[in-house]
A and B are shown apart, each in its own frame.
Chain A
Amino acid sequence: MQLTRYISTSFCILFVLLSSAQDTSKYLQTIPVFAKQDSILRLAVISASIPHFELTAAKLDQLGAKDVGEALKYIPGVQLRDYGGIGGVKTLSFRSLGAGHTAVQLDGIQIPNLQTGVINLSSFELFGLEKISFSSGRAVDSRSSASAYIPANTIALNSILASQPHKFRLGLYSNSTSINAYEKGLFAQTRLGKRFFIGGQGMVKFGNGQYKFIHPESSADIINTRLNTALFNYRARIVGGFIGRKNKITISAFLNKNEQELPGAAVLFNPSNDQKLWNQDWRLNLIHELRIGKWNLQSHFNLQDNFTNYQDPYYLNLDGFINVVYYQENLDVGTLLSKSFRFPNERVFIGTDLVKSSLFGSNITGRPIRLQNNSVIGGSTMFGKFKLDGNVTAQFIQDTYESTTSEDREFLKFSPFVAMGFRPFSKTELRFRAFYKNTFRMPTFNDLYFNFIGNTGLEPEDANLFNLGITYGHEQKDWSAELTIDGYYNRVKNKIVAIPTKDLFNWSMQNIGETDIRGIDIGALVVFKIKQSQLTLNSNHSFNSSIDITNILSPTYGSQIPYTPYYSSTSGVSWEVKGFSFSSNVLISGYRFSLNENIYANLLPGFVDINLGISKKIHFEKSSFLVDLKLMNLLNKNYQVIRSFPMPGRYLQLRLKYSLAK
C-alpha cells in the first residue's frame, strides 16, 4: 500500500538524519560572547547570525499599518506586492524571492496554502499581536515544527492570546478611515485557577472602501472612483490552555468569514466590475509541550479547512456568469524533540511532521492529494567568539491525483542551512555573520493541476541563498545606535513561470526561469533620550540587482526582473514626550518594470509614500487608552505598486485602543 511505503520512507529519512547527528553538543567551557543578551532591540536583531527583524506592538502602532503586510514593508529587503483597497491582496517578496518562498506562522503554527502557495498578508490584523518577526534563512520561533525549517523566509506572528497570561486582560480597538474602511476588535483573556487560562478575540472589518483616484494612464483632470470594493469580514479565535510544571497544552480554534467585492484591475474607460468573493476558513490547533530538565518534546495536531467561492455575475460564456468553488483541507501532525545546553538558544533538535493536503474544486484536474513528510535535524552552539547554527531538512512529497495517463509524483529534497556569527571583541557590539541555505519551493496545486495551464511534470523551484553581514550596536547613557549591513547573493533555478504555448489563450506552467540576485541591505537606527522625551531616527536602504539569466538568446537576458526596484528605502522619525508621540514614516521605491523587458512602456515610476502621525496614550492604574491620528499618503499620489492597481490618495486614519491588564 502506498501509505505504508510512504511511512516507511519517512522513517528511513528520519533514521538517516538521526545517525548523522553527532557532536553538535560539544562546547568549550568559557562563556561565549554570543550568550550575552543585547540591550537594544528595535527593528533589526543585531545579535542574530541571519537577517532577523522584530516589530513590537509599540513599533506597529507607530507605523500606522493595518495589517501584517503593511507593517512588513518597512523591513529592508522586503517588497510588498500591494493591490490596494481594503480587501486587496498583499504578498511580499524578500530579496527577490517570491511569496512562495515565505512562510507565515501564527504562534509557531505554520499556515498552509497548497493551492497557490502564498498567504495573503492582509488577512492578518495587527490588533492582538504582541510581535511580528521576520527572518531569512531559518525560522526563529522556538515553537517551530519541522516544516518551518524548510522555507527561505519566515514571518512569525505572536499573539497576545497565546502568551503567558496575566490574571485578566482586556483589549478594545477601533479603526476608522476617511476611505470608508473600518475595523473593530475585542479581546479578553483570563486565568481559570492556577493552571488554566482561556481567551478569545473577535474582529470585524467592513466598509465600502471606495476612493477617488487619477488613473496614471489617463489625463490628470479625470477623477475616477474605485468601485466594487465593499468588504465584510469577521474573525474569531479562542485560545485555551493548561500550564503545568512539566506539561503545557494549548488549544486554539479560529474562524474566518469573509464576503467581499473584488475591484479588479482599474481598466481604462471601463469601470464595470462586479466580481465577488466569499471565504470561509477554520483552523483547529492542539499543541502539547513536555519539558523534563533540559529536554523538551513538543507535538502538534493542526486541522485547517478553506472554502473559497468566486463569482463573476456577468461573463460572456455559455452560462453568462462564472461561479467557481474550491475546498482545501490540511491535516498536520508532528513532533519535535530538543535538548538545550548552557543557554536556552544553545540546543540540538530533531523533528518530523506528516502533512496531508487535498484540494477539490472547479478547474482543478483530478482531486489532488499531497502527502508530505518534513523532517529536520539541527542545532546551535556557541564557543569563544563564535556562534554556529545549522540544520538539514528533508522533504518527502507524494502527490496523487485521479488520472488515466499520468503516474503519481514523488519528490525527495534535502535542504541544508548553516550560519555563523563572530563577535571579535566581547566589549564591543560588533558582529560578523554569514549564512547559506538551499531550499526548494514545491510546485503548488495550481501550478500542477489547474485546467489547461497546470503542468504535472513540474520540478520544484530551487533557490540558493548566501548572506554576509556586519552588525554594530552602541549604547551611551542618553543615546544609542545600531547599524546592520548585509550583502547577499541568491540564485533561483527551475523557476516556475507561466509561458504561452499555442497562442495568447493557451499558457502552461514551465520550469524555465533562472535569476541571479545580488544586493545590499543597510539599516541604521539612533535613539536619543533628552530629559523626559525620546527621539528615534531610523533609515533603511536596499540595493538590488535581480537579473534574468534564463536564456542568453532572449531579449530579456540580463534584464532586471519585474516589480523589483534597484533601490528602495524606508525611514522613520518619532518623538515621544509625556505620553504624546509624533511620528513620520517615509517609504521610497525606485522605478520598476511591470514585465521582463526593461523598456519605457513597461516602466512603473518610483514613488514616495509619507505618513504623519500624532498619538496620545493615557495611563490609568491598570489600563491605558490610546488615541492615534494618522495622515496617510501625504503626497496624495495614486501610485501603482502593481500595474493597473492605483493606491488610495491622502486619507485620515483614527485609531482608539483600550487595554486593561490585572
Chain B
Amino acid sequence: MKYYYLITVLFVLIACKKKPEPPTVPAQYESGIVVLNEGLFEQNNASLTFYDGTTVYQQVFMSENGRGLGDTANDFDTYSFGGTEYIIIAVDISSQVEIIDRKTLKTVVQIPFFDGINAREPRHINVNGTRAFVCNFDGTIGVIDLISNSVIDLIDVGANPDGLAIVNDKLYVSNSGGLHYPIYDSTLSVINLSTLLVEETIETRINCTQMIVDDQDEIYLLSNGNYDDVSPALLRIDPLTNTVLETTEMEITSLAYYNNWMYFYNESEEAVYRYNTVTEAVEPTAFMDVSSYETFGGIIIDKTNERLFCIDANGYVNSSIIMAYNLSGNFLFEFKAGLVATDLIFNN
C-alpha cells in the first residue's frame, strides 16, 4: 500500500520522541541536599529530590518507598533520637505527618491528622527536643511525642495557623486566617511548652505567616497584607513582653536568617534584600538581583557551609530550579528539583 511509507515515517517520528526514563537512586544520602517539592494541589505529586553535588535524583521518596509521599507537602524539619537522624514532613492535603530516616529516606511512620473524617491539614513543623509541633490549617497545634511517634495533644489556636517559632520555651503560632478572606486573622498565639497551654494571644497584623528569630531572640513576623490595598509588612516582636515593637510596611516575602542578617525577597524590585537585625535597617542597595527568575519561590540558608539557596518555582507548573550562592551573593551552582520546591535539608 502506498501509504505504508507515510505511516512508517510517522511511527519513526513518534518513536524519536523519547519516553522519559524512570528515575534512578543514588548510592547514598549521607552527603548532599534533600529538596522538598510541594507538588500541585490534588495531583498527588509531592516529592523529594536529592542532589549529591554532581547528579540530581528526582522522586527519591517514591523510589525508596514504592509509593508517593502524598498531596501538597509544605514543610519539613530534622531531628535525631537514639542515635538515628530523621526527617519529619508535613503533608497538607493528604493530612499526614511522615517521618523518614534522614540517611536512607525510608519511611518510619505515617501519622494521620484527621478530625473524624475531616482533614486537619498539617502545614508547618518545628521540632523541639523530643516533641514535634505541627500547625494544622484547621486551627490546631498537634503535639507529637517523637519517642512513641504518637499525637499527645491538640491545642486550639486561631484561624489557619501558618507559621511557627520557638523562643524561651514558648511556641509562637501565627494565625493567618488565609482562607477567611476578606476577614483575615491578625493574632499570634503563645503556647507554654511545659504546660502546652495558650498563655497569651497577641494582636498583630492581618494575614501573618512566616517567623524568624534572630540572635537577640527577637521575632520577625511577616504580614502578607491582603494582596490588594493593604501592603505587606515586617513586624518586630519582643518575646519578653509579647508586644509589637515595630511595624514596617514594605514589599517583603520569603524570609531567611543567618548571622544578624535577614534576607528577603522584594517582589516589585525583583531582588533579594538584607535587613540587619542589630541596626534594624534594610540595606539600601539590593543584595542580589533575581529578575531573571521566572517565579521567585524562596530563600534557604545552609548555615554550615555558609551558602544561600534561592528557588525559581518556574510558574509553579514546571520543575523548580535551585540556585546556590555564597554569602557575597556570587553564583555557585544550580540544579533542577521537582514541582514547587519549598524547602531544603543539608546532609553532611
Residues on A lying within 8 angstroms of B by beta carbon are 215, 217-219, 264-272, 274, 314-318, 485, 499-500, 502-506, 520, 522, 543, 545, 554-556, 560, 566-567, 591, 594-603, 643-644
Contacts and interface: CB of A to CB of B under 8 A. Distances in A.
Contacts of A485: 3
Contacts of B94: 267-270
A203 to B, nearest CB: 31
B329 interface: no
Contact of A272 (B6, B114, B178): B114
Contacts of A594: 43
Contacts of B43: 265, 594, 643-644
Contacts of A274: 117
B319 A597 contact: yes
B275 to A, nearest CB: 20
B179 A316 contact: yes
B47 to A, nearest CB: 7
Q: Which of B118, B137, B267 neighbours the largest number of chain A CB atoms within 10 Å of its CB?
A: B118
A643 B31 CA distance: 34
Nearest to B184: A318
Given A272-B119, A595-B318, A265 B42 contact: yes
Interface stretch (B12-20, B213-221, B302-310): B12-20
Nearest to A562: B317
Interface string B201-234: 0000000000000000000000000010000000
Nearest to A645: B42
B163 interface: no
Counting chain B CB atoms within 10 Å of each CB, the highest count among A266, A315, A595 belongs to A595
A270 B42 contact: no
Contacts of B44: 215, 217, 265-268, 643-644
Contacts of A556: 318
Given A269-B110, A500-B295, A545-B14, 4 more contacts: A270-B71, A270-B94, A601-B47, A601-B59
A612 to B, nearest CB: 29
Interface stretch (B62-70, B127-135, B145-153): B62-70
Nearest to A554: B318
A566 B180 contact: no
B32 interface: no
Interface centre among A545, A556, A601 (most CB of B within 10 A): A601
A603 B94 CA distance: 21
A567 B338 CA distance: 27
B315 A500 contact: yes
- Which interface class (under 10, 10 to 19, 20 to 34, 35 or more) fits B? 35 or more
Contact of A500 (B11, B20, B178, B316): B316
B23 interface: yes
Given A219-B67, A268-B71, A318-B159, A600 B14 contact: no
Contact of B20 (A318, A554, A555, A600): A600
Nearest to A603: B20
Contacts of B47: 601
A506 B253 CA distance: 15
B174 interface: no
Nearest to A273: B117
B284 to A, nearest CB: 25
30 contacts: A215-B44, A217-B67, A219-B66, A264-B42, A265-B43, A265-B71, A269-B91, A269-B96, A269-B110, A269-B112, A317-B181, A318-B159, A318-B183, A500-B315, A500-B317, A506-B227, A520-B10, A545-B13, A554-B318, A555-B318, A566-B17, A567-B14, A591-B19, A595-B339, A601-B59, A601-B338, A603-B19, A643-B44, A644-B43, A644-B44
Q: What 4 A-B pairs have minimum CB-CB distances, sorted nearest first?
A: A217-B68, A265-B42, A600-B20, A318-B180
Interface string B308-341: 0000011111110000000000000000001110
B341 to A, nearest CB: 12
Given A267-B42, A269-B94, A270-B71, A502 B179 contact: no
B314 A555 contact: yes
A505 B59 CA distance: 25
Nearest to A272: B117
B179 A315 contact: yes
A599 B20 contact: yes
B139 A268 contact: no
A509 to B, nearest CB: 14
A505 B40 CA distance: 11
Contacts of B318: 554-556, 595-597
A555 B316 CA distance: 12
A95 to B, nearest CB: 15
Interface in B158-203: 159-160, 177-181, 183
Contacts of B93: 267, 270
Nearest to B20: A600
A214 to B, nearest CB: 11
A267 B41 CA distance: 9
Contact of A218 (B11, B68, B112, B313): B68
* Residue with the highest number of chain B CB atoms closer than 10 Å, among A215, A543, A600: A600
B48 to A, nearest CB: 11
Interface in B61-111: 62, 66-68, 70-71, 91, 93-96, 110
Contacts of B343: none
Contacts of B7: 520, 522
A317 B20 CA distance: 41
Nearest to B118: A314
B58 interface: yes
A270 B67 contact: no
Contacts of B338: 601
B139 A316 contact: yes
Contacts of A560: 17
- Counting chain B CB atoms within 10 Å of each CB, the highest count among A264, A316, A522, A597 belongs to A316
A612 B95 CA distance: 40
A502 B267 contact: yes
Nearest to A222: B67
Contacts of A543: 10-11, 14
B138 A601 contact: no
Contacts of B178: 505
A210 B3 CA distance: 47
A605 B319 CA distance: 20
A485 B5 CA distance: 13
A555 B319 contact: yes
Contacts of B227: 502, 506
Contacts of A554: 318
Contacts of B14: 543, 545, 566-567
A93 to B, nearest CB: 19
Contacts of B96: 269-270
Contacts of A602: 45
Contacts of B137: 316
Contacts of A271: 117
* Most chain B CB neighbours (cut-off 10 Å) among A215, A268, A555, A594: A268
Interface in B256-309: 267, 295
Contact of B118 (A215, A272, A505): A272
Nearest to A318: B180
Contacts of B179: 315-318
A98 B14 CA distance: 22
Q: Which interface residue of A267, A505, A594, A644 has the most chain B CB atoms within 10 A?
A: A267
A600 B21 contact: yes
Contacts of A317: 179-181
B82 to A, nearest CB: 26
Contact of A600 (B3, B23, B67, B95): B23
Contact of A504 (B70, B267, B316): B316
A312 to B, nearest CB: 11
Nearest to A565: B14
A269 B95 CA distance: 7
B42 A644 contact: yes
Contacts of B23: 600
A554 B319 CA distance: 11
A318 B7 CA distance: 59
Contacts of B95: 269-270, 272
B68 A270 contact: no
